[in-house]
Amino acid sequence: MRYLFVCGFLLSACLLTSGCVTIVDATTSGPIHTDPGKRSLGDKWDDGQISTIVAVNIRKASDELASAHINVHTFNQVVLLTGEVPSKAAYEQAGKTARAVSRVRQVYNELQVRQDSGFFARTGDNFLEMKIGTKLIANRDIDSSRVKVIVEDQTVYLMGMMTMVQAERITDVVSRTSGVRKVVRAIEYVE
């Protein structure tokens, strides 16, 4: 009985999947092209894992880093570190630790050596980030899914994969937003 069930299941699976390529071929007019600027769900998952590993490893690297305000952002295996650390040694250790994680292609260490930013500064940054996100979504000339916006101390960091033209459009919109002090691009350019 079990043998018949397994054989029937395998036969059904073969019959159901054998026509997939034919159906896709018949419904498309030309070759299928992939978009180099779009990330898959797996890519996003990998970036999340990288962020977690980098954040944990930085906190475990030293007592100074364990108590510092450090944010780890990852886009397409490129890591951006933002926040504040108490010393130049902590700054260097954080960057070195991030670069040591496997699958990290590049690290932008934008940590500031200074006192921890306060609650109100972070709240203002969160509001500014929401304001920028809303402007990008509302702009029909911009595909906001291609960019990740991070705000730290009124400095806007842009991460993503896009063409130079798309990056210029996004930078223009962001730089004209009130409250933005500076725009830093950590963008991977694609054709």
Q: Domain of 130? A: 117-191
Does 17 score more than 80 pLDDT? no
Quote the pLDDT of residue 39. 79
**Interval 2-25 mean pLDDT:** 60
Final residue before a domain boundary, out of 73, 99, 115: 115
**Is pLDDT larger for residue 147 or for residue 40?**
147
Domain shared by 168 and 188, yes or no: yes
Quote the pLDDT of residue 122. 94
* Rounded Cα–Cα distance for residues 78 and 54 (Å): 11
Label residues 39-55 b or e (16+ Cβ within 10 Å = b): beeeeeebbeebbebbb
How far, in Å, are 28, 64, 95 from residue 153 at the CA level? 48, 21, 19
Does 159 score more than 90 pLDDT? yes
Quote the pLDDT of residue 32. 63
**Interval 158-170 mean pLDDT:** 95
Domain shared by 104 and 131, yes or no: no
Quote the pLDDT of residue 40. 83
Quote the pLDDT of residue 136. 96
pTM for this structure? 0.80
What integer best gives the mean pLDDT of the chain?
89
Q: Which of 12-16, 38-42, 163-167 has the lowest mean pLDDT?
A: 12-16
Considering its fold, how many domains does the chain have in total? Answer: 2
Domain shared by 177 and 141, yes or no: yes
Final residue before a domain boundary, out of 66, 86, 115: 115
Domain shared by 188 and 158, yes or no: yes
Answer whether residue 99 is part of any domain: yes
Domain shared by 126 and 190, yes or no: yes
Here the CATH number for the domain that contains residue 110 is 3.30.1340
Quote the pLDDT of residue 18. 57
Phi, psi torsion values for 11, nearest 5 degrees: -65, -45
* 191 — pLDDT class (breaks 50, 70, 90): confident
Answer whether residue 84 is part of any domain: yes
Answer whether residue 27 is part of any domain: no
Radius of gyration for the chain, computed over Cα atoms and rounded to the nearest angstrom: 22
Domain shared by 101 and 154, yes or no: no
Quote the pLDDT of residue 41. 87
